Structure 1
């Protein structure tokens, strides 16, 4: 394959199974996250609690009576992104484009886009559903280089049909990496360069210059390893396909730099009074063991992109969305050297105040005696951070 979307870059893309696989748990081949009937997937841990219909009714009642969080400006600052015009960068560099979308620029020259959603609403409809309370920092056309797109799962705030079609138009040969079961949706949309992976599977990707005008020719071939990893979440695009496709966290390693990301929960917390801290010593709820496995077997990571928002009410959201105290534990379990927060600041999906996540993140870090500035941080939408090793 070749990519000529930016009018100058010309290179081929090859994707293959690695000659030597990275570490994985001894029981990974048992596929405990696959449903026994072969019709979908599940979270195989005690840290997960399945949703109950009465919870949904209670949540709807709560929202009718309590209302939604205040999104009156100013909220999260939005900057115009400053993407690098070439493939040259001395450090790993990440630009937050809202919610769970980051463009990560690797020192090898690789450019990877994660969970892009460039629409006003995260919804199957253009006229109904959660609408942005912070503006889009840019358009897909403003991103000069996209070598690969990584999708965590098929929820509308992570997998956007209009956005992915635009990427296909502008970067027609950029490969898409998706969790198991999602390929058919992409091919139905006319996107065929899709690599579908199960947890703990990985692929090697190599970009090779084929023309004299390619920036990639400055560095020669660009190699990367992309791994699909576990997380605790769900999937659905409609009322009839719940958990029919897999959800995943991902790792990308290129040029000696490695990063990981996920949209995930960490523990299942029952309903408690509002003034009770579920991390008090008396509350020993089980947590998801997958992140410790990821850290032990695939870590350490130079950068983690870790969710910090969409967590309240806790009794409803804790299984599938981490709060900042969970987020810091995920950071430690996965052995990340640095982390940036995501999954906040864009749409009102839950009931916590929209500016609360970074405030609680500071509290959570202090409880773990993590005081060094920038170890686990947040940034403005559109802002880039260089990860200095």
Structure 2
């Protein structure tokens, strides 16, 4: 297998924001301090909240009180078995083979490994640890094992990080990837470069929404005679609706983002972790559970306009990696986590030709049934007149698909 050390990497940020629509205020998500400098970030659209901002100081007490009163019961994962298969990766970067497809492998939660026909290898939101928490003896524990370890990845040229939450950014995983693939370049939102440099990682580029960078790999050795002499890619940092933070007092000090990667005639849109439209508490007819927040009375709720803008300026995409889990209770999490129905709307607006589901099947983060997201995804596709299989799919952890 080709080692990433056979290539040197250069990254050039493009001047301005070439992907930004003309009518967009490209710094509306910046919160300015007294000196005029950006001190933190915010979601700029009404779609992000139905009331008070949701954060750790709100979520944790709300969940604890809900559990104490029995109004917020988390499902059992004892008998849940998310399919896990041993992944296989391409043995070479060769562009002379007949297979010119994009190949993508789900490694659990939001982590995907993408093999572009150009030879580029990209890793999205790698977290291989047992727990997504500051400490490995407390916090959400995996109920489906990781498909592999960083040691099993044949090459990593670029690592794309959506935001700083522990289920998307792991210090241990990042350090192991940097050790095994020292030429790998990390792409992060504004404010996160400092964290990476403190970890001893210098190959990092931080970007704001609507910014773009060109990544060029140049072969430095003859290690892989069939590998291309050079590989080029365009990396786009794009808006989404979420939050950030790794400690109680650093909430929203670094930027969250979705991303697009284009190389060799193929493109991927990575939704990362995002909400779409915040909804109020909606009861079902019996008043015992959550009702349909897409009913007629909720049609007028604000939707995030940036996904349609992304589709218009950067789409269409060959593949979307879109979140479908961690969405209940909806009144608490809808502003920052997409439901399956939200994900289908994002799929349509970003103009993805195909999509694979992420952000489910790994850790118990919220209180929907663990196996509910795929079922609701099929229902949402049917409601939108889209085939239930073959367009926006789920797969086993470790499974690869071609596009």
Match of residue 218, structure 2, among 183, 204, 208: 208
Deviation at 1:113, TM superposition (A): 0.2
Match of residue 74, structure 2, among 58, 68, 78: 68
Contact 2:381–2:388, Cα closer than 8 Å, also in 1: no
Structure 2 gap segments, 5+ residues each = 284-288
CA RMSD of aligned residues (A): 1.8
TM-score by length of 2: 0.91
CA distance in structure 1 between the aligned counterparts of 2:14 and 2:194, rounded to whole angstroms: 24
1:352 aligns with 2:358: no
1:373 aligns with 2:389: yes
Residue in 1 that maps onto 2:267: 258
Residue in 2 that maps onto 1:197: 207
CA distance in structure 2 between the aligned counterparts of 1:130 and 1:288, rounded to whole angstroms: 29
CA distance in structure 2 between the aligned counterparts of 1:54 and 1:201, rounded to whole angstroms: 32
CA distance in structure 1 between the aligned counterparts of 2:9 and 2:290, rounded to whole angstroms: 54
Deviation at 1:6, TM superposition (A): 5.9
Contact 2:4–2:181, Cα closer than 8 Å, also in 1: no
CA distance in structure 2 between the aligned counterparts of 1:179 and 1:373, rounded to whole angstroms: 33
Residue in 1 that maps onto 2:293: 278
CA deviation profile, 1:267-309 (whole Å, cap 9, x unmatched): 0101111352110111121110010000011100000000000
CA distance in structure 1 between the aligned counterparts of 2:30 and 2:16, rounded to whole angstroms: 25
CA distance in structure 1 between the aligned counterparts of 2:17 and 2:262, rounded to whole angstroms: 13
CA distance in structure 1 between the aligned counterparts of 2:147 and 2:291, rounded to whole angstroms: 38
Residue in 2 that maps onto 1:299: 315
Residue in 2 that maps onto 1:315: 331
- Alignment coverage as a number of residue pairs: 382
Deviation at 1:353, TM superposition (A): 0.5
Contact 1:122–1:157, Cα closer than 8 Å, also in 2: yes
Residue in 2 that maps onto 1:15: 11
Contact 2:108–2:362, Cα closer than 8 Å, also in 1: yes
Contact 1:28–1:200, Cα closer than 8 Å, also in 2: no
TM-score by length of 1: 0.94
CA distance in structure 2 between the aligned counterparts of 1:342 and 1:8, rounded to whole angstroms: 26
Match of residue 87, structure 2, among 71, 81, 84: 81
Q: Which runs of structure 2 are paired with 1:150-299 in the superposition (5 Å)? A: 150-214=160-224, 218-262=227-271, 263-273=273-283, 274-283=289-298, 284-299=300-315
Residue in 1 that maps onto 2:343: 327
Deviation at 1:21, TM superposition (A): 6.4
1:267 and 1:142, CA in 2 relative to 1: closer, same or farther beyond 3 A? same
Deviation at 1:344, TM superposition (A): 0.2
1:20 and 1:242, CA in 2 relative to 1: closer, same or farther beyond 3 A? closer
Deviation at 1:335, TM superposition (A): 0.3
CA distance in structure 2 between the aligned counterparts of 1:84 and 1:212, rounded to whole angstroms: 18
Contact 1:9–1:214, Cα closer than 8 Å, also in 2: no
CA distance in structure 2 between the aligned counterparts of 1:61 and 1:25, rounded to whole angstroms: 43
Match of residue 51, structure 1, among 54, 57, 68: 54
Residue in 1 that maps onto 2:286: none
Contact 1:22–1:297, Cα closer than 8 Å, also in 2: no
